[in-house]
Structure formats: C-alpha cells, structure tokens
Structure 1
Amino acid sequence: MGGGRSISTKKVINVNGRIDTLDYLRGFALMGIILVNIIPLLSVNLPSPSTKDVSYWMFLYLFVEGRFYTIFTFLFGVGFYIFITRANAKGKNGYVLFLRRMIALLIMGLVHVRFHPGEALMVYAICGLLILPFYKAHKVVNLVFGTAMLIVLTIFSFKLFMVIPLMLLGIAAGQFHLFEELTKKRNKIILFTSIMLGLSILGLIYQYQYAPIAFGNGSEVDFLMTQRFLNIGISIGPIISAFYVGLLVLLLQSSFFQKVLSPLKSYGRMALTNYISQTAFIYLAGNMLNLFNNITYIQSLYVCLTIYIIQLIFTTIWLHFFRFGPLEWIWRVVTYLETPPLRKRDKII
C-alpha cells in the first residue's frame, strides 16, 4: 500500500511545469464568467419583451450562468492538490505555503470586492482554508463526499455553497491524476462526455419549459416562472459544465485545436490577472462610454468581445517576454517570500 502511494505521488511530481489542459480550461472558464459578471457591474437594463435582448438573456441563463464559474471552482480544487503535492515533494512545507497563498488571495479579494460585489477570490480563499484537511483524505472519500454534497446543494439551488463540493471534486481529480496522460484515456473521456451531453440536453429541455413567456411584464406568474427557470439552471449547471470540460479536453487531443486555441492557454495562465482586469475594463468602459444603467444585454456582449480582444493580445505579448502574469508574480512572491525572476531572459538561480 505504501509503495503504491509513492508511485502515485511521483506521477504528479514528474509533470514538469504546468499542465497545459488546465490552462486551456481556466481561460475558457474566464471567457464565460465575464459575460455574466458584466450584467450587475454595469446595471444592464432588463430586456424588453420580443427583442433580441430576450434571446441573448435566454442564451446566458441556458448556456453560461452557473456553467463557467463551476469549471473555475473545480479547477481551483485541482490546483490546490497539485500545489501542495509539488511543494511537499520539493521538501517545502506545502501547508504553510498554501496558507500564505490563501491569505494573499484573501487580501486581493478584499480589495476587489469593493469594486465587484460577489467576486470569487475572497470566497475561494476562505473555502480553500476550510478544505485544507481534505488534502489528506482518501481520494474515494473526496469523490463520494463531494458528489453527494453537490447533488444535495444543486437540488435546492444553493449556488454559493456549491463552492466547497466543487473544490473537493477538484482535489479528487488531482488525486486520481485525471488530467495526466489524457491520450490514454480518450475512450473514457468520449464516454463521459457523451453521457454528460445526453444529460445536458434533457436538463436544458426541462429548464426551457419554464422560460418566462411574457418576459418583463412584472406579473407574479412571470416572476415565479423566471425564478423557477433560474433555479433549474443552477441545478443542472454542474452537468453542463462537465460536458463543456469533456468536449474541450477531447478537442485538445488534436494538435490543430491546440494551436487554434493557444490564446486560450495564455489567457488561463494569467487567470488571476485577467479575472481582476476584467472588472477594471468593465468599469473603464462604463465610465468612458456612460454605460451604467444605459446599456442593453446585446451591447454588454459587444463590450465583452472588445475586452476579450484586448486581454488576449496583451496576455500573448506579456507571456512572450515574462514567465508569470503581473498579479501571478506578486502572488508567488508573497507565497514563497522570495523574488522569482520575472523576465524570461533572467536565469533561475
């Protein structure tokens, strides 16, 4: 039993550097998150009945809301496991480093929440500390407990509390080495993705049945229909998220899609910088163009597309010259209490 554990740990350590698939997934998740976050930040007006805005509103709450933050939270759990495991393997105290890492994240979250109420960093930092004991739990325990807790919380549409079980499932994924040697798991990934696709279709059909008919008429029936529609969306969110992850992982088995989606990988490598700068760009656009309370749903999409272009170009250029994103570098300095080289031409001592 002891020998098996050593081999398992060694597999993680032998993954040199970053796991590219996780960066692609982080970038993908971030691109979905901004589409939802921009709505309250700019106080986007509710769509008028029978307009294109209603169709986009429907698209957001069928395919985006509750789907991408789920992926991002799950990936936090995966990163949690990999970070501590690699730190311990290098002879460092992974727990102490992780505690400093979460304290730094909490401070950034406390600053960010002043501009973006409901932001994720502060919640992640607190939940990261709460799940620390689960690092030593058996992988089956984390899988079963995380799944059971997630099912219960999705039934009651408790979105905020879903963070912990999603992180536990991320830890379990790290313990099972889910994102290693993916080419050998292709058939299993296809089966998983196919099942999630079937369940997603059924869930979306069920959710769509409760779509508000006379949108925005202010009636009690319309309000109840809308609330039911949104709650079902939260409940089926993890299933659709799982399908998205499976599909993207399958696409990344192809070198063609790896090249086409390479900007997504850079975007995910600078996830912290891009997440916070999304808020900055939204406020910048809002102030410069007078968008607060004066923008439609479709127009919010145009703002997001513009931010995508700016961030993707900046991220690609930045990582051409530097090893880490600006905030990622600061996060690393606080975590390790040392100054790592930032420019690529600088040598690591």
Structure 2
Amino acid sequence: MSAIEDNERIDVLDYLRGFALLGIILVNIGPLLSANPPAANSADAAYWRFLYLFMEGRFYTIFTFLFGVGLFLFIDRANTKGKKGQVLFVRRLIVLFIFGWGHVQFHPGEALTIYAVSGLILLPFYKVNRNVNFIFGVIMLVVLGLFAAKIFMVIPLMLLGIAAGQYHLFQRIRHHIKATAVFTVIMLVLSLAGLTFQYQSAPSPADVTNSIQTQQFMSIGITIGPVISAFYAGCIVMLIQIPFFRKLLAPLKSYGRMAFTNYLMQTTLILLAGKILQLQNHINYLQTLYICLAIYVIQLIYSTLWLRYFKFGPMEWVWRALTYLELPPMRK
C-alpha cells in the first residue's frame, strides 16, 4: 500500500503487492466463512495441507515487507518535495488505523490496525543507518521466527522493508539481476529443505486440524515462512524482467496498485458471497478456492479497467485525501 505518484512508481513493487494479495485471500477466506474441518483422506484434506505448506505465512510476509518499503519511500519523497514527511506519515497511519478498526469488526485478526501501530513504532528507524536496520531486522526476524511469533514478526519484516528502501534496492533491481537470480536460487534450496522438514511433521490424514502435531506443523510453517516468501518474491522479480511475462502479468500490477481497495474488497466479496449463498459453516476448504478464483477474476478485471481512467483506486484516493487534507485529481 503506497501513495506514490504515477511518474514515481516502482513497477516491481506493484507486481509484488498484487502477487501477495492473491495468496492472502486464500488463507483469510477459511476463517471468514468458518470452513468445516477437512475429512480424513479427502481432496479437502490435501488442499488444507497445501495451504499450510505453500500459502500460510508466505504472502503476508511479502505484504508486510512492502509496507516497510512504502514507509521509507513515502517519507523520503515527501521530504524531498519540501513537505514534512514524518508528520504526513503519522496522519496516514492514523487514517489507516481508523479504516482498520472498522475492518476488524467484520474481519477479526485483520492486518491494517497492526500495520498502523507497527508503522508508528518504526517511524524513528527512518533515520537510523541502513546497515543497522538490516542487521537488527534479520536478527529479530530469526529469533521471533524460531518462536513462531507470527504477530511480532511484523516489526522486523517492516524494518527490513525500510532498510531495502534505504538501499534503493528496487530502484536498482534491473542492474542486479544476476545477484537477484543467485539470491532466488539460494532461497529455493533453503525453501525445499524447510518444506521437507515441515511436511515430515504434517498431521495424519485422520486429524489435520485439532492435534498437537497440527500446531507443530503450523509453527514450523511460520518459522520458515520468510525464506519461502523471499523465494516467491525473487521469482516474480525475475519473471517480470522478461517482456512476455511482464505483459502477461500486467493485471497483477494494476491489482497491486489498488492494494488497499482490493484488500478491503476481498473481505466484502467473501462476506457477501457467504451471505447470499449461505456458505457460513457450510463450506469446505477446497470450495473456498473456487470462491477465491471468482474473486480473482472480478478484482483483476475491475482493477485493470479502473486504472485506465483514474489515477488512484477508490480507497487509495480517500486515503490520500485524508492524509494531505486536500482532494487530489482522480481522473487521468
């Protein structure tokens, strides 16, 4: 989520935000619709294991890291224009917290309020040396990861995002493709090792949701999550360097440019589908996938068409207006 002008946008960040949103909804929809526990030895049980091997704890980490990048870019660019970047960002966080407070009434455990509070805590780190931020972020992430402290991992993930912004990592990404490729391969090797270890701890088919083994399985997933997230992000960065894939994945860029709107809309569409189709407590995990695919189609088309005519997504426009206390031009 960011408020960067069109001519200042870093495309790779939008692609990554859109990609992260695709995974977040797959994890969120189960609790929102109170999906039924999967039956033993069923396709539903297989999909449940797939979710917790490849999705849970993988995409929110990318989204959180990018929020940290956005924190640095917002303040840095505002200061460059002679505005009080940190003051504006505090106002931006207050607005985010208010929206998050409203959102959490419908989606318990949602991330916006946590992001707002964490952003406020990390605001002083904008001025801290980038090497200190990087080293401190890595150490904190490793320690909290070992304890599977998912909610507290938001802080080091954002801090690493701030460090990435300080290093101008994404502005220079095209000049460091070989280094990015090496990084991605290393993350692949580590991811395979971590997933193998997690899979060996998978609960038995007869009890995939309510056992000590299940909790251990999920905890391992949280611990290795940042490594797998880094591999996923590296793959996306590498793919969009190829013109064919950059064009093929263009809807993902629009999806990510409207990340705030689409994140809130995901919850709205899920709850609306649950109400109209009476899915609450009457849907299994595999069926939630079909709902997500339908929402993908709606949101990807909507985002692409909207941004043909407008500079900002609807909620991005409101967020920006309340941050700057002025009405920005909407139409292109």
Q: Please point out which of 93, 98, 101 is paired with 1:110.
A: 101
For the aligned residue pairs, the C-alpha RMSD in angstroms reads 1.4
What do the CA deviations read for 1:59-85 (whole angstroms, capped 9, x no partner)?
100000000000000000000000000
* Structure 1 unmatched ranges of 5 or more: 1-12, 345-349
Q: Tell me the secondary structure at the aligned position of residue 131 of structure 1.
A: helix
Partners in 2 of 1:205 and 1:217 — Cα distance? 17
Name 1:246's counterpart in structure 2: 234
Q: How many residues align?
A: 329
CA contact (8 A) 1:266 1:316 kept: yes
Counterpart amino acid of residue 74 in structure 2: F
Aligned to 2:219: 231
The separation in 1 between residues aligned to 2:204 and 2:31, in whole angstroms, is: 23
| Partner SS for 1:44 | coil
- Corresponding letter in the other structure for 1:215: A
In structure 2, the CA distance between the partners of 1:53 and 1:14, relative to structure 1 (3 Å rule), is: closer
Matched, 1:182 2:170: no
The separation in 1 between residues aligned to 2:321 and 2:6, in whole angstroms, is 23
Give a deviation string over 1:312-337, Cα, whole Å, max 9, x none.
11111111111000000000001111
1:37 equivalent in structure 2: 28
Task: Find the partner of 1:309 among 290, 297, 303.
Answer: 297
For residue 74 of structure 1, what is the aligned residue in structure 2?
Answer: 65
Work out whether residues 45 and 205 of structure 2, in 8 Å CA contact, stay in contact via their aligned partners in 1. Answer: no
Residues 101 and 217 of structure 1, relative CA distance in 2, 3 Å threshold: closer
Q: Is structure 2 residue 160 aligned with structure 1 residue 166?
A: no
2:331 — aligned with what?
343
Question: CA deviation digits over 1:1-52, x for unaligned, max 9?
Answer: xxxxxxxxxxxx9994210000000000000000000010000001000100
1:266-315 Cα shifts (integer Å, max 9, x gaps): 00000000000000000000001000000011100000000000111111
Distance 1:275 1:306 in 2: 15
TM-score (norm 1): 0.92
The AA in structure 2 aligned to 1:284 is: L
Give the direction of change, closer, same or farther, for the CA distance of 1:332–1:210 in structure 2 (3 Å limit). Answer: same
Contact kept, 8 Å, 1:46 with 1:216, in 2: the verdict is no
SS of 1:102's partner is: helix
Partner of 2:275: 287
Amino acid aligned to 2:197: Y
CA distance in 2, matches of 1:270, 1:183: 24
Match for residue 321 of structure 2?
333
Distance 2:18 2:181 in 1: 22
What is residue 9 of structure 2 aligned with on the other side?
A: 18
Q: CA deviation at 1:245?
A: 0.6
* Offset from partner CA, 1:148-195 (integer Å, 9 cap, x none): 000000000000000000000000000111111322101100110010
Structure 2 partner of 1:262: 250
Identity of aligned residues (%): 62
Moved more, 199-208 or 16-25: 16-25
Corresponding position: 1:201 with 2:201: no
Tell me, yes or no, if structure 1 residue 129 matches structure 2 residue 117.
no
Question: What's the offset of the Cα at 1:249?
Answer: 0.3
**Is it true that 1:192 corresponds to 2:183 in the alignment?**
yes
For residues 5 and 321 of structure 2, what CA distance do their matches in structure 1 show? 24
